[in-house]
Structures are given as C-alpha cells and as structure tokens.
Chain A
Amino acid sequence: MVRPNVGVKAPTPKQHCEELRMGLMGNTATLLGKELRTEFRSRELLTTTVVFILVVLILFSFAINPTTEESREFGPGLLWLAILFAASLMLQPCFLREQSNDTLSSLRLAVSDPFAIFLAKLIANTLFLMVTEVLMLPLFAAFYNVPVLPELHYWVLVLFLGSLGVSVVGTALSAVSAQARMRELLLPLLMLPLLTPVLVVSTTVSVSLMDREPVVLWKGIGFLAVFDLVFLTALWLFGEYLLEE
C-alpha cells in the first residue's frame, strides 16, 4: 500500500496516539457538524420521525383505548415500540445518502480513523431521536393521561441510554443494509431482533417510573449502559470493515 512520507521523521508512539486521538475527535466534530447542518437545512428526518411516532401513538389508542391504569402498564411499551419502528425508518438514509455521489469513498480517503464516520453519525442519530422523544413525551403524557413530570430527569436518562443503544446498532446495521437488496425491509429485520434487550429493559424501567410509587430500577439503567458500551466497542473494533468495498 502507499508508503508514508519519505524523508519525514516518523512520530513517536505518544505523538502518534495524540495525533490519532485529535484526528478522531476533530474529524468526528467536523463530520457531526456536517450531519447536523444537512439535517437542519431540510429537517426531513426530524419531521418524518415525529409524525411517524405521533401516528403510531394515535393508532395504538384507537386499537387499545386504554384506561389510565392500563396506560401506566402498557403505555411505555407502546412508546418504545414506536421509537424502535421510527428509528428503523429514520436510519435508512444514514448510509444510503452517502451512495449517490460516492461520498463514502471521499470520506474514507479524508479521515484518519474510519470510526469517526460512525461516531459522528451515531451521535447525530442519537440527538435526532432524543429531540423527537422530548417533543413526543408531553403528547404521550397527555394522550394516555400518564404522569411523566415527577420523574422527568430519570425519563431523560432512560430515553438517552435507550436511544444511544438504538442509534449505535442502527447506524452500524444501516451500513450493512445499504449494501444489500431490499434494504428498506432488511434494516428493520436486522435491527429489531438485535435491539430486543433495549426494548425489554427500557420498557420495564419506564413502567416502573410511572408506577403510583415510582421506583428507579438502577439495574436496568446499568444494563442499558452496558449494552451501549458493548456495541460501541464492537463498532469501534469492526467499523472499518463495515465500510470496506
């Protein structure tokens, strides 16, 4: 492969690590800026995701027509299901949009660490998901007559950890499905089984937060953090192969 600079002194390992780290963080920040700028110009991802979750919540209420007690029990599950479905739609364009002009190749050429590409996208996707959820939360509380204000900070914590998990897995799999046929159907098919732990644990923690006497299930929250860590590490280790051609 291409030999590095002839005649330029090689950096010491410490310098090299320093460079790489700054390279990774710097590149991630630059790419994150690009992702956010692109989205805020068109706002297409955010609007479609918000509307989708809204429609799902409304349809659920037609289908189930819950009482307040039932809402406390089933509501969070429906909310997390809606988030999962919305995410599997929202994450479709993630790597697809890099295909039309082959910008994925120019990015790979330009960045020092390919993990920066993933990191930027997954941070952006987590942000988009959280913005959607924060907008949806008051509507969810109103539609189903359930209290979220009392434990709001814990709600935000669960939403963050859950959304991060969805985002890490979804961003990675979006890179996979972009290279296959029937990608619109494939991405949910790949994502949803993998995200079962997030669904199960987030729902359980959320239900417990909505109890008459809310309890914070720290074990569940810790579990979500572990899930996020495992897949972030896996993505860090294997990400560059996901981008290979």
Chain B
Amino acid sequence: MAGRNGSGKTTLLRIAARIVRPTAGKLSFPGASSEVMGDGRPGYVAHTTMVYDELSAEENLILFAKLQGVPSAAARAEELLKEVGLYERRASLVRTFSRGMRQRIAIARALVHRPAVLLFDEPATGLDPLGIAWLAKTLGEVHRAGCTVVMSVHGESEISALATRAVQLDAGSVVADTQAGASLHSILTFGGG
C-alpha cells in the first residue's frame, strides 16, 4: 500500500490487526491456507517493537509464544532468534538494542505463531541500506514460506520492489491498483490517483 500521509494506510493495517474497530464494514482474509494459518491471527509489525524493554529477547518471544498457544515455546523462541540473527543477544534486555535489532525482535514477535498474513507498517523507516537489504531478504523468505505480506511503504526501495501487487490509498479509498493495470512506479510516486 502506498499513499500520502493521512491516506489511511496505518489505520487499515490496524483494523486488519484487529487493534482498531472499524466504524463500518468488514475485513476478511479469504482463501487462507489452513496448514499455515495457525488460528487466523495475523502478525503485525509497526513503528514500535511492541515487546517489553525490561525483558530479554528470549523472554519476550517465549511470552508471546506461550500466550498464543505455540507448542514448545522455548524451542520456537530459539528458532526465531537464530532466524533473525539475535541468538547471541538472546539474554540481553531489549532496552539495550539498536534500531536495527529492535526491528528484528519486532519481526520475530510477529512471526512467533506462524501467521498466514504478516502486516507491516512502513518497514524501511529508520533503516540504513544494510538493514533494508536484510529486511528485503527476510521478507522474501517469509513470503516463500507461505506467508502473505501486506505492507505500507513510502517511496521506492528494495522492499517495495518485492511487491506482487500494489494499491494506492487516498483519503481512505483505493485509487489505483496494479491488478487494474496501474504501474508500480506510478503508485509509489502517488501518480495513480
């Protein structure tokens, strides 16, 4: 999803994450594969880590794994930490993490229950080129594992280039869609509307 500030990208993601209740209408994820689905809850990554600063990376992941009923929470946490490259810092408090590491723990938290859908609000914000490259690689892997990624982006980058479909939002409505023939470039530069 692309669009100017205030076009509704964050709100839409938060509605999909069931954090915000819509004033009207419904949202559903049709055709979700049941093997990957877990229990219907999407993963959600936003601007904050949404984990506890006073707990360690490992403790945070075990907490969220247990809450969502993931079997063998400790093993799952270990697996995720290795995947995002935080295994060496697993016992450090999240308070001590850098920006890039904070994003990695946020992604790990979102993926803990193997969701079929990952909602990502402006993933590239505040990342250096190395961080963006890592994120693009990771999102590609997540997608190949069967997860659908819905993300809001700002401008063109390695990450927006991953899109298999793009829409442009303006004042809460979809004004352009690659599925309807608009080009990715025009959507990302707000030319679609």
Contact = CB atoms under 8 A, between A and B. Distances in A.
Q: Do A and B come from one complex?
A: yes
Interface of A: 1-8, 23, 26-27, 30-31, 34, 37-38, 41-42, 100-103, 105-112, 244-245
5 contacts: A2-B27, A37-B59, A100-B48, A105-B44, A108-B19
B46 A6 contact: no
The 4 closest A-B pairs by CB, nearest first: A106-B50, A7-B34, A110-B67, A3-B28
Contacts of A3: 28-30, 32, 40
Interface of B: 14, 16-21, 26-34, 37, 39-42, 44, 46, 48-55, 59, 63-64, 66-69, 109, 113
B55 A38 contact: yes
Given A34-B55, A245-B19, A103 B32 contact: no
Contacts, number: 95
Main secondary structure of the interface of B (DSSP, over half): loop
Contacts of A110: 41, 64, 67-68, 113
A94 to B, nearest CB: 14
Contacts of A8: 34, 37
Contacts of A27: 67
Nearest to A38: B54
Given A4-B39, A107-B67, A109-B44, 15 more contacts: A1-B27, A3-B28, A5-B32, A5-B39, A6-B30, A23-B69, A27-B67, A31-B67, A34-B55, A34-B63, A38-B54, A100-B48, A105-B46, A106-B109, A111-B67
